[in-house]
Amino acid sequence: MKAKETSLLQFMQGPKQFRIPIFQRTYSWEVKHCRQLWQDLITALEEDRPAHFIGSIVYIEEGLYHVSSIPCLLVIDGQQRLTTVSLLLAALASRLDPTGQQREGIAAEIRDYYLCNPHGQGDLKYKLLLTQADRDTLIRLVDRKNPKDDASRRLLSNYRFFEDQVARSGREPDELYRALTRLFVVDVALDRQHDNPQLIFESMNSTGLDLSQADLIRNYVLMGQKPEMQEELYREHWFPMEQLFGQEDYGKHFDRFMRDFLTVKTGRIPNIRDVYVGFKEYAPTTALGSIETILADVHRFSRYFVNMAFEREADPELRSRFAQINALRVDVAYPFLLKLYADHADGVLDKSTWLELLDLVESYVFRRMICRVPTNALSKIFASLAGEVDPNASYESVLAGLLLRKHNQRFPRDDEFRSMLTTEDVYNIRANHYLLSRLENFERKEPVPTQEYTIEHVLPQTEALSAEWRTMLGPDWAQTQKTLLHTLGNLTLTGYNSEYSDRPFTEKQNMAGGFLESPWKLNVDLRTAATWDAAAIRARAARLADIAQEVWPCPSLPVETLARYKVRQEGGSEYTLEDHPSLSGPAGELFDTLRDHVLQLGPSVNEEVGGLYITYSLANAFLCVVPWQGGLTLYLDTPLGALRDPREVAVDVSGTPHWGYGDARIYVHDAQELEYALELVEQAYDYQFQPEAGEHSALAPSSPMTPGK
């Protein structure tokens, strides 16, 4: 590697071409970044600074891409800066020479020194050759040609920004040109025989936009390939994926997809910020072998993801199911759904079973939402569920897996679902509109387009109820309003929300567009009711709850079938605390105190009894207890450095095999030690709510030994 500081314009001079390789992202700077560069340029001019540093340009030289007499340099880092300065130079040249006919002067100098190679033929005519759609857009700007319809939006908007700034700056173009000579970069030339471009690329502290995980993965996949293979892999797989996800939000969508893809493939849930690291760990170990096969597999799963997430599925029945699940915003189910989609595409899962499974997922998620079951366990549930699918009995195995879950992983049964649905506030939940829309469209051959309609409270929300309403509700009107206002029986959908306002019930019925004229199934009761009081609201809630149990069913399985899956799930045994003989002695008193304390930390704490240890979890395990005759061993799934432990009783066992889950081990022999240990347990519990712990070892705890669990 050779590095030196140099003027950017001097660096660009001479016969050479900078090529942006296909593995680089497209031009990404927005107007706000161009504005900052412009302001830096004007400041350097006003303060008479001799130099203004704007970053580095990293490239591979030494004849790797030589064509004729013009060396071609492959840009590893610095595309954004080179492109943006080229746009500014093109705008400045256009201002100096609107016709593009001058053969002398600053405009001609800009064209011949920094935008073009005067003696180059074909593509070699241009100093900077971008990739994909960006290439043609920049070439047309340099050549003063009108852009095509599919031109790069960012290139055009940034070019026009610079045109506007040059025109409005009040400064002479030659003055601005001289200011550009003060832009300095670090010129970093790599030697392929001695330097690893990928490692250098990863370690660059760029002053431009942060690279997305998608950018890093693309570079990892393509950078190490020969140019011909780069072109083939990009053309066959990567570019089609970019088109699938969309140019504007490609990075964001791809990063989310890759997290789900890796979860399916590895059984681990990587943090969204670490999917590049996860992919680098996955790629060398997968049985798929070559990078071509791996990339083809990623491409295949990306189609499944897009069909579900963006609802582009060709089959209308499947597309409708995906839309319903997306309305619940349950992204954590996607690893499981991707696994099922792949089974369907491979012919393992027939369409009817696929539809049944999608309905099952929708019911499971929505019932939990209505019953206020905490959602923080869902990512673990769906990730593990993917490994429980029996290809010979897909629906039965998934249903059994859900029905056997307890506590905060449970599938709410009809009595709980119905009770919560009819008596609790369903207006102030995320899926309030979804709830009413699904009820309205259940078993309709032609669904009602409910998107433009809003939620109407039949009994108004206002505290200043009219005399008519108070009379209709009776002497307990205030309590009735407080108790039933936001319940299902009092809610409907309407396009006349503002017209209805706080009117009396009979007016809402009889006005133009009122309930009497409504053809909607939701409003059957509202058309026929003579009064709207507590009894009417509860009766309507009961009717709608009957429909809801059909829309979101909780299917059942024979007891013997569930028993068979239960044995399979638990390795042939079901453990209770009685299976731990150590708990009958002094350790039992310590455990009882600890157990009571831990279960009171929050309603989301789940207890699982294994053959050798007891686990307490939220979305992930945060505590494992191993009883023994002399006391308890506690394992906290928290990095040792995250614990406030002034007595230093916790020991780092992250690299040591041990029973249970957790990085920190604590021995407890008596009540005094337990009192202090509980403070550390609370910290481990609290750690689960920190952002960096959100996906922490959800399915792959640190070095656990699990036999006999």
Per this entry, what is the length of the chain?
709
The whole-number pLDDT of residue 1 equals: 65
Could you read off the pLDDT of 582-591 as tens digits, one per residue? 787 788 899 9
Q: State pTM to two decimals.
A: 0.66
Could you read off the pLDDT of 193-242 as tens digits, one per residue? 666 665 655 555 444 446 678 888 888 888 777 778 888 888 899 888 88
Closest CA to 616 of 596, 590, 645, 587: 596
Closest CA to 374 of 425, 417, 408, 334: 408
Q: Among 8-12, 83-87, 218-222, 345-349, which stretch is predicted with the lowest mean pLDDT?
A: 218-222
Q: Above pLDDT 90, what percent of the chain? A: 46
The whole-number pLDDT of residue 670 equals: 92
Could you read off the pLDDT of 438-458 as tens digits, one per residue? 999 999 888 888 988 999 999
- CATH number for the domain formed by residue range(s) 577-705: 3.90.1150
Amino acid at 299: H
- Chain mean pLDDT for the chain: 86
Q: How confident is the model at residue 703 (pLDDT cuts 50, 70, 90)?
A: very low
Closest CA to 53 of 185, 180, 178, 177: 185
pLDDT > 70? residue 568: no
Q: Is residue 450 within 8 Å of 406, Cβ to Cβ?
A: no
Mean local confidence (pLDDT), 104-109 = 88
Could you read off the pLDDT of 463-519 as tens digits, one per residue? 889 999 999 999 999 999 999 999 999 999 988 877 888 899 999 998 888 899 888
DSSP state of 126: B
Judging by beta carbons within 10 Å of its beta carbon (0-12, 13-18, 19+), is residue 290 exposed, middle or buried?
exposed
Mean local confidence (pLDDT), 644-671 = 82
Mean local confidence (pLDDT), 47-69 = 71
The whole-number pLDDT of residue 705 equals: 38
Q: Which two tokens stand for residue 114?
A: 């920094």
pLDDT > 80? residue 424: yes
Mean local confidence (pLDDT), 378-388 = 84
| Cα separation values, 707 from 387, 570, 659, Å | 18, 11, 8
The whole-number pLDDT of residue 701 equals: 33
Q: Is residue 85 within 8 Å of 8, Cβ to Cβ?
A: yes
The whole-number pLDDT of residue 645 equals: 92
Where are the chain's structural domains? 2-209, 227-417, 425-551, 577-705
pLDDT > 50? residue 700: no
